Amino acid sequence: MNMTDAYTLDNEVLSETPLMDDVAVDTTTAASEGPNPFAALGLAPELVAAVTDLGYTQPTVVQAKAIPLAMHDVQNNRHIDLMVSSQTGSGKTAAFLLPVLNTLLAQQQARAKAEAEAWARKVAEAQAAGLPAPKRPKRKDPTQPRNFKAATPGALILCPTRELAQQVAHDAIGLVQHCKGLRIANVVGGMPYQIQIARLQNADLVVATPGRLLDLQRSQQIKLDQVQFLVVDEADRMLDLGFSDDLAEINQLTIERRQTMMFSATFAPRIQQLATRVMREPQRVQIDSPQERHTNIRQVLFWADNAHHKRKLLDHWLRDTHIDQAIVFASTQIECDGLANDLQQSGFSAVALHGALSQGLRNRRLMALRNGQVQILVATDVAARGIDVPTISHVFNFGLPMKSEDYVHRIGRTGRAGRDGLAVTFAEFRDRRKIQDIEFYTRQPIAAEVIPGLEPTQRPERSRGFDDRRDGKRHGGGRGKPFGGNFGGGFSGAPRGNAPRQDAFRGDSSRGDNFRSEGPKRSGPIQVRPGKPAANRSFKPRSR
């Protein structure tokens, strides 16, 4: 199979993924009479037609607020930078794709018109001189080495993980189905270089993970000096995976851009520090807070005496006939593989998904889940963002997340597209503090229940209520701010306040995620060696 065939096959496989990730639309709402609500936002007819074809009739709250702000300000001839905080399932992907694609489409149409007028003048001049009409040049095959030209995209979207980057890219492909001439490219680690280099040819919008993008940039396969729009999706997760230095380098490579948009779960201090270094007077759009999230997801907690007891509780739940498909989250890769093997031996249709697997295997297992060939996906937090499968009815937290905000993204894998979901958490009594951290972060108590015959032999201590934490502090130490004074969550060993931080994890230059970040967190503060600046100091303010 040659390179072109591989490129076509890869696109056909990935194009089967659902479009419009993170769009939770009430399908019961009928389209109102009158102009299309998306057209009222100022979008081009081609984009409005694509949205209609995808079955969306009303913009979500984040789309209605962010799209008009992200559009070109004709009066002042400028774009404004945006910081957007919105929950999982709120439609944020389309909120940044639609305005960027709208501007790229307008520019492409203007160039096509100018080229047509120039060609018409050339033909008229030939006729006036009595010469035969000129012939249009043949289109060159970009896959041939002699015709190679480094890609110069006009828009760049950065995602922390491969799965999320692939989902966003195919959302974009669905939105440009009526836009002739706009090309979308997806660049992630774990895929063959030659396929991605061919995919980059003449790309207008590139969705990428930072590591592979910089690899291609350093090898002169792509140039970023003509990027006009930079979008950082899941900025909090990007910092968690240690991409601070990569973001600093990309910031400098795209320093002449017109607009920067940043989407994050919260406006934590570290996100605000990042924004001051890469954005110019950004305008904030906050749709909701953590305690207002996932009202359609029922959350329950089961206390367990030990790991064996947790395994019995999980086995009992998985035999529920009401489960359509489910995700079981584990804390580590070893636990993920072991649990998947145990479930397979127990007769369940289960597979494991984590960062140590090859990208091809991860794609195949996700495709099997979407096609209904797999009922249970056992995953680490690498799958907590970027998976949009509406048939996932249950999420099980077998291993607790390392950070409280990851709990929110985990349970957000169910209850999508307006459906109801159930999130079940299993916790040992030694995990009481982590459960309190999650409840404090979400401002929602998790109701504890028992299964007859599987009751714990111990009794948990009564959790302190929210009112017991005076002045934003919890008795007995811990986090001092509700949204993460220690950089957005985590536990007592993490640095606090606005002090500089050397990232604990670094992303692999050839991967869109770092599976090492799924292991246990260091118990003490991260030490920065003398003479070596913290990672976030490498940012330089953009020229104004």
Looking at domain 3-22+36-127+150-289, does it have CATH number 3.40.50.300?
Answer: yes
Q: Both tokens of residue 171?
A: 């959302």
Residues 358-378 pLDDT 10s: 888 888 888 888 888 999 999
Percent of the chain having pLDDT more than 70?
A: 74
Percent of the chain having pLDDT more than 90?
A: 32
Amino acid present at 85: S
In the 8-state DSSP scheme, what is residue 502?
Answer: -
pTM of the predicted structure, to 2 decimals: 0.65
What is the three-class DSSP state of 351? strand
Does the pLDDT value for residue 484 go beyond 90? no
pLDDT at position 462 is: 53
CA distances (Å), origin 332, targets 338, 355, 382, 402, 425: 10, 10, 10, 10, 16
What is the three-class DSSP state of 240? helix
Number of H helices, E strands in the chain: 16, 14
Does the pLDDT value for residue 341 go beyond 80? yes
CA dist., res. 179 & res. 173, Å (int): 10
CA dist., res. 275 & res. 266, Å (int): 13
Q: What is the mean pLDDT of the chain?
A: 77
| Contact (Cβ atoms closer than 8 angstroms) between residue 96 and residue 156 | no
Tally of residues, the chain: 544
Residues 32-59 pLDDT 10s: 455 788 888 989 999 999 999 988 888 8
Average pLDDT over residues 64-84: 87
Q: Which neighbouring-strand residues pair with 352?
A: 378
| Contact (Cβ atoms closer than 8 angstroms) between residue 63 and residue 84 | no
The answer for residues whose C-beta is within 8 angstroms of residue 388's C-beta and 6 or more apart is: 18, 20, 21, 22, 167, 416
Q: What is the DSSP string of 404-447?
A: HHHHHHHHTTSS-TT--EEEEEEEEGGGHHHHHHHHHHHT-PPE
pLDDT at position 148 is: 74
| Superfamily, domain 291-442+444-472 | P-loop containing nucleotide triphosphate hydrolases (3.40.50.300)
Q: Which neighbouring-strand residues pair with 83?
A: 262, 284
Does the pLDDT value for residue 458 go beyond 80? no
Which residues of the chain does CATH 3.40.50.300 include? 3-22+36-127+150-289, 291-442+444-472
